[in-house]
């Protein structure tokens, strides 16, 4: 359990970070530095010694020291803690679910984003554990007294610290993701009051913000790679530019990097799983070498096109009825959560969802695959649909959902699904496709604004 202490390094910091390991700690070599990096390193060491952040060390272990360039310019000191992290016992404190957080802004008209300055420096390493953080430079051997960037549990430890400070404000117009804080309100007066409250709370614990990175009382703001406004959520412009200019992957690592980016923003793409399947299949079985195919190249180009033209996703409104449309194929299931809003009312997507089928699921008949799509969609959007103010509507091409609610005899899998469905209040709209096939129902859904 974290212990909050006095906010001075020399008296002990706000939280003790305990580093528990389950093997012998490694010793790394010293990285050679350029002349520019050497000057920056000497400055960093001198300043950190003076601030009480580090001290000379006689530790038998060592990690390597180097710099990376900051996006806004300048150099960021980094320690290569991969060896230490590999044997560190994990701290299971959860980080917020970003996808859920960006769905919570309905009705908000004013946004403020705060970026905490040197945030990790407020957390002290547990006494007698400092030697595990030791690092070597060309000028000496040092260890940290405060929590540096790069430690395995640092994000979770700091998240728990800020959560403790702002716990009573969670869900009240405040979202915290490590050192990024978003404040949102429906009125200017309420927003000013909430911003003052948050800043006051941070000041009490000597947490400071980077003024040059903060945005106050705006109707649109960038947060964690999204552009959030009163109208909804879109991908951040620089992310769209990045994916538009993304070079074709040539190695397994480059494919993994692209898929990591794509998965983060998959909520914007209808049928993402099926579109990306030719690329994800390249990693099957832990492939060591990349065998890029023409099919993968077409999928890569298609994904870039879809991300470049990604739609605005509406903020879910709990006061309005939801619509869930599902689709299933031999390869995967997909769904979209929508609401009618605006004047005149138009059908607007909130998020999209898709998932590849597993080997056993591919053997399901077409009706059970459609049922599986419904189950997956309701699980993903359970926080909106279970206990919703109005019964929601499910659009489906198959009558299995109607059958499963009334049937007396079900197989074990269908019985489990039937029990799951009883937790929700919904109506069903059966819309038959052409010979049980359909030309992308999710695309068809938004071909027209009204039905």
Q: What's the rounded Cα separation, in Å, for the pair 13 and 210?
A: 20
Position 134 in a domain? yes
Position 291 in a domain? yes
Burial (CB count <10 Å: 0-12, 13-18, 19+), residue 361: middle
Predicted local distance difference test score (pLDDT) of residue 432: 61
Asked whether residue 381 falls in the same domain as residue 441, the answer is yes
Instruction: Write down which residue in 308, 337, 365 finishes a domain.
Output: 308
User: Please, which residues bridge with residue 235 across strands?
Assistant: 226
Q: Structural domain tally of the chain?
A: 3
Tell me the HSE value of 150 on the side-chain side, using a 13 A CA sphere.
Answer: 21
Are 163 and 170 a contacting pair, CB within 8 Å? yes
Asked whether residue 341 falls in the same domain as residue 296, the answer is no
CATH number at residue 354: 3.30.420.10
Report how far apart, in Å, the C-alpha atoms of 405 and of each of 60, 312, 371, 395, 420 are: 66, 35, 11, 15, 11
Q: Using CA of residue 15, residue 20, residue 24, residue 29, what is the dihedral sign?
A: negative
Position 68 in a domain? yes
Asked whether residue 282 falls in the same domain as residue 347, the answer is no
Neighbouring C-beta atoms of residue 232, cutoff 10 Å: 21
Asked whether residue 22 falls in the same domain as residue 84, the answer is yes
Predicted local distance difference test score (pLDDT) of residue 240: 93
Q: What's the rounded Cα separation, in Å, for the pair 159 and 169?
A: 14
Q: What's the rounded Cα separation, in Å, for the pair 289 and 218?
A: 47
**Residue span of the structural domain in which 333 resides:** 323-445
Predicted local distance difference test score (pLDDT) of residue 293: 92
**In 19-157, where do the E strands start and end?**
54-56, 63-69, 75-80, 110-115, 124-125, 135-137, 140-144
Asked whether residue 130 falls in the same domain as residue 28, the answer is yes
Asked whether residue 338 falls in the same domain as residue 437, the answer is yes
Position 73 in a domain? yes
* List of residues 6+ apart from 53 with CB closer than 8 A: 9, 121, 144, 145, 146
390 is written with which tokens?
């109005």
Asked whether residue 267 falls in the same domain as residue 385, the answer is no
Asked whether residue 25 falls in the same domain as residue 141, the answer is yes
Asked whether residue 343 falls in the same domain as residue 367, the answer is yes
451 residues of the chain, pLDDT tens digit each:
333 333 444 443 445 666 776 677 777 788 888 888 899 999 999 999 999 999 999 999 999 998 888 777 788 888 999 888 888 888 888 888 887 788 889 889 999 999 998 878 888 888 888 999 999 998 899 999 999 988 989 989 999 999 999 999 988 999 999 999 999 999 999 999 999 999 999 999 888 999 999 999 999 999 999 999 999 999 999 999 999 999 999 999 999 999 999 999 999 998 898 899 999 989 887 777 888 999 999 999 999 999 999 999 999 999 999 999 988 888 888 899 999 987 788 889 999 998 888 889 989 888 888 889 999 999 999 989 998 899 999 988 777 677 676 666 778 888 888 889 888 999 888 766 543 233 344 433 333 333 3
Asked whether residue 146 falls in the same domain as residue 47, the answer is yes
Asked whether residue 301 falls in the same domain as residue 337, the answer is no
Instruction: Write down which residue in 259, 279, 308 finishes a domain.
Output: 308
């Amino acid at each position: 359990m974290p212990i909050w202490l006095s906010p001075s390094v020399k008296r002990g910091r706000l939280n003790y970070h305990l580093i528990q390991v389950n093997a012998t700690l490694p010793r790394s070599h010293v990285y050679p530095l350029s002349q520019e990096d050497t000057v920056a390193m000497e400055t960093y060491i001198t300043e950190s010694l003076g601030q009480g952040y580090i001290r000379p060390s006689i530790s038998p272990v060592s990690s390597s020291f180097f710099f990376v360039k900051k996006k806004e310019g300048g150099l960021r000191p980094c320690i290569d803690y991969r060896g230490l992290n590999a044997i560190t016992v994990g701290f299971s404190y959860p980080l917020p679910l970003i996808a859920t957080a960006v769905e919570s802004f309905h009705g908000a008209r004013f946004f403020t984003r705060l970026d905490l300055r040197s945030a990790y420096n407020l957390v002290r390493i547990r006494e007698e554990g400092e030697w595990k953080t030791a690092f070597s430079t060309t000028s000496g051997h040092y260890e940290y007294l405060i929590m540096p960037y790069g430690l395995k549990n640092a994000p979770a430890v700091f998240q728990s610290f800020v959560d403790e400070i702002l716990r009573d404000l969670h869900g009240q117009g405040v979202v915290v993701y490590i050192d990024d804080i978003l404040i949102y309100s429906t009125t200017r007066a309420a927003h000013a009051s909430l911003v003052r409250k948050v800043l006051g709370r941070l000041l009490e614990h000597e947490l400071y913000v980077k003024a040059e990175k903060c945005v106050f009382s705006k109707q649109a703001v960038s947060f964690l790679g999204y552009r959030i406004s009163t109208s909804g959520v879109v991908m951040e412009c620089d992310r769209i530019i990045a994916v538009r200019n993304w070079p074709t992957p040539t190695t397994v690592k480059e494919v993994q990097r692209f898929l990591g980016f794509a998965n983060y923003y998959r909520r914007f793409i209808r049928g993402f799983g099926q579109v990306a399947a030719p690329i994800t299949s390249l990693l099957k079985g832990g492939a060591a070498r990349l065998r890029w195919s023409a099919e993968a190249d077409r999928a890569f180009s298609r994904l870039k096109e879809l991300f470049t033209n990604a739609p605005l996703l509406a903020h879910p409104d709990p006061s309005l009825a939801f619509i869930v449309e599902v689709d299933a194929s031999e390869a995967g299931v997909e769904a979209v959560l929508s609401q009618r809003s605006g004047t005149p009312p138009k059908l607007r997507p909130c998020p999209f969802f898709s998932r590849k089928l597993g080997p056993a699921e591919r053997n399901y008949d077409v009706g059970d695959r459609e049922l599986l799509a419904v189950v997956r969609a309701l699980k993903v959007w359970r926080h909106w649909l279970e206990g919703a103010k109005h019964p929601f509507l499910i659009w489906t091409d198959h009558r299995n959902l109607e059958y499963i609610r009334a049937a007396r005899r079900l197989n074990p899998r269908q019985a489990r699904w039937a029990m799951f469905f009883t937790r929700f209040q919904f109506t069903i709209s059966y819309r038959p496709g052409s010979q049980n096939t359909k030309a992308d129902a999710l695309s068809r859904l938004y071909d027209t604004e009204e039905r």
